[in-house]
Amino acid sequence: MFLNNPLLKKLKKKLHNTSPKVEGIVKCTKRNFGFLDVDSKTSYFITPNDMKQVMNGDRISAQIKLDKSREIAIPKKLIVPFLNIFVGKIYTKNNQLFISPYYPVLKELILCYININCTHDFKSGDWVTAKLVQHKLNGYPYFYAKILQFIIEGNNLLAPWRVTLFRHNLEYNEPNILFISNSTNCDSFPRKDLTHLDFITIDNINTKDIDDALFIEQKSKDFINLFVAIADPTYYIPYNSEIDKLACRRGFTNYLPGFNIPMLPRILSEEVCSLQPNIVKPSLVCLIVMDKYGNILDEKINFFLAWIKSKEKLIYENISNWLEKKGSWQPKNKNIANQISLLHNFFKIRKIWRKKYSFVSKERLEYKFNISENGEIVNIIPQIRNIGHKIVEEAMIVANTCAAKILSNNLGFGIYNTHTGFEYANAENVVSLLINYGIYVSAKKIVTLEGFCNLHRILNKLSNNYLNSRIRRLQSFVEISLKPAPHFGLGVESYATWTSPIRKYGDMMNHRFLKSIIQNTQISKPTSMLTSKISDCRRLHRIATRDVEDWLYTIFLSNIKKDNSIIFNAEIFDISRGGMRAYLIENGAKVFIPASFIHINRNELICDPEQGTVYIMGNIVYRISDIIQVKLEEIIIESRNILVRPIL
């Protein structure tokens, strides 16, 4: 009926004559065809034949043509290639070298040649960096790349770490810069001698970069004095010196499964600055006075420079076992035992305060990768946060809250962690969601710090994991700012971390700001470039950690899959139209359950991302936060995907 339709003929003629051009991003599919995404609402079909000219992620301009009543995009011009310098794996075929880019969406094997300065004898499986030098859309008959640098052999157990760091352009080794430990210090400002006080440090057994020490005293039945002493790298590192610039570039110590890459040279982070026991060390100290209800007396917050000497390095597990009357470990003397008891009492008081004025967040499991020296995965186990961890965490939260107040009142700037809770539109969605549970709140209220905290106290009492998951997805993310602002996630008016200066450059800068207040000297406000750089570094480190973990999980579970009888408990944390994502509670691995594994008849299945639910024939069968049992189905090493099948 449409064959001789005059309107359709007219439209075809118009499109042929004008040939409109658009610009967008190429998206490929598993079926070899693709789409050109122009914006969030507009995309055009790209035929399998035309997809051979482009790569997923390329920004191109294309001509739009009508073919059998369907608009299709014909790639015409490359604007920005997705690949430039990239990491990939070498394959050999017919005595020629090919490279497969380390991007799961890119299936192309790209012909490549070796940079004249690269002398390695390349073999299949080797990991390299390369540069794309020819693109088909620029008129070349094939894609062509130049190998720039050898990274590591494919069968090397350290490949997950080294390849990931190269891929994200992150450092693999500690800073290669000379530091002379007996060089002149950076400040001569008087320091209080606190070496007589019984400071203790509490860390993991293998921790070497010890950056915080605690001393607590009961001044009367109504008041507690808590001294938080922090390692002082700025005593040794001048601002804008080579080491300082290097620390700024790195941003953070990069903690990856099995090992870390320090922000500062190890001689600084693990020896010179580290608050090792029985050695006098320069520190920045905060004295915090609290009443018996856990309230901080703001007018008595006092930051000062001091010399301290830790009396003992304590281990989280030992402290927790001693407080819970487990095991055989005992403090070496009554003074240390008294410190542990007083710190435990401080934590209990603050926990009560938090439940009343702030809120206590639900604890989430973390996992520890036990890696051998040569890179083998020994095991992956849940990391339980015990009383020792919680004592130190609460002391650091209190100290960082005090720093934020002092910086805000005296300078008006610093490096702050901020969290705005809900955007107003999301707050309205929260209100609508809560009505279904008989909870009535106003959007105007829950976008305030007080209202946000009250909401979470209500949610804690309700103890509904599904509802908590839905609401958590509507919350904003933590940001870094030069201006003080609330941190809703911690329930405080402002938050500026200074307690890890040998691990975080932002904390090192906050040391300098606090010192300027102590010494009554002028200091310039940094530009937003610094906070942007810190944010970018933090984001990259998190991505790199996730990528290494995903790789290690595929290796670890590939061995387990040989035993098909193993059943895992898994918690669903995301639902998309294509299926469900979950994590294995035993080891933390992120897994995917395709829709086809959930129900054989796709027409009877609805996966609803907005509601976080899965329906079969109109009945809810799965929800976010559900604990289900699954078995390993397929592990795809190349894309780091782990597919599991639910046990019905």
Which residues are part of the catalytic machinery? 203, 209, 211-212, 316, 503
d(CA 630, CA 642): 12
d(CA 108, CA 191): 63
Non-local (6+) Cβ contacts of 577 within 8 A are: 595, 607, 609
* Phi, psi (deg, nearest 5) at residue 333: -155, 175
Q: Would you list the DSSP string of 499-513?
A: S-TTTBHHHHHHHHH
d(CA 158, CA 161): 6
Phi-psi region of 169 (alpha: psi -120 to 50; beta: other; left: phi over 0): left
d(CA 353, CA 294): 6
Among 407, 225, 384, residue whose Cα is nearest residue 317: 384
Q: Would you list the DSSP string of 377-389?
A: EEEEEEE---HHH
Give the DSSP H or E segment for 8.
helix 6-18
d(CA 487, CA 393): 16
Count of C-beta atoms within a 10 Å radius of residue 269: 26
Q: Where do the H-state alpha helices sit in 204-329?
A: 242-250, 266, 316-323
Furthest-apart CA pair in the chain: how many Å? 99
Q: Is 627 helix (H, G, I), strand (E, B) or coil?
A: strand
The one-letter amino acid code at 147 reads: I
Count of C-beta atoms within a 10 Å radius of residue 120: 14
Query: Are residues 78 and 135 in contact, defined by beta-carbon separation less than 8 angstroms?
Result: yes
Tokens standing for residue 338: 């008294």
Non-local (6+) Cβ contacts of 14 within 8 A are: none
Query: Are residues 268 and 547 in contact, defined by beta-carbon separation less than 8 angstroms?
Result: no
The CB-based long-range contact list for 613-620 (8 Å cut-off, 24+ gap) reads: 613/575, 614/575, 614/580
Tokens standing for residue 599: 């129900």
Residue 498 DSSP label? -
* Residue carrying structure tokens 């439940």: 355
The one-letter amino acid code at 363 reads: E
Q: How far, in Å, are 303, 415, 504, 568 from residue 411 at the CA level? A: 14, 11, 21, 53
Q: How far, in Å, are 186, 195, 281 from residue 191 at the CA level? A: 13, 11, 11
d(CA 471, CA 454): 14
Query: Are residues 25 and 57 in contact, defined by beta-carbon separation less than 8 angstroms?
Result: yes
Non-local (6+) Cβ contacts of 479 within 8 A are: 417, 418, 419, 420, 535
Q: Is 450 helix (H, G, I), strand (E, B) or coil?
A: helix
Query: Are residues 437 and 464 in contact, defined by beta-carbon separation less than 8 angstroms?
Result: yes
Strand partners, 150: 128
Residue 475 DSSP label? S
Tokens standing for residue 26: 């190429």
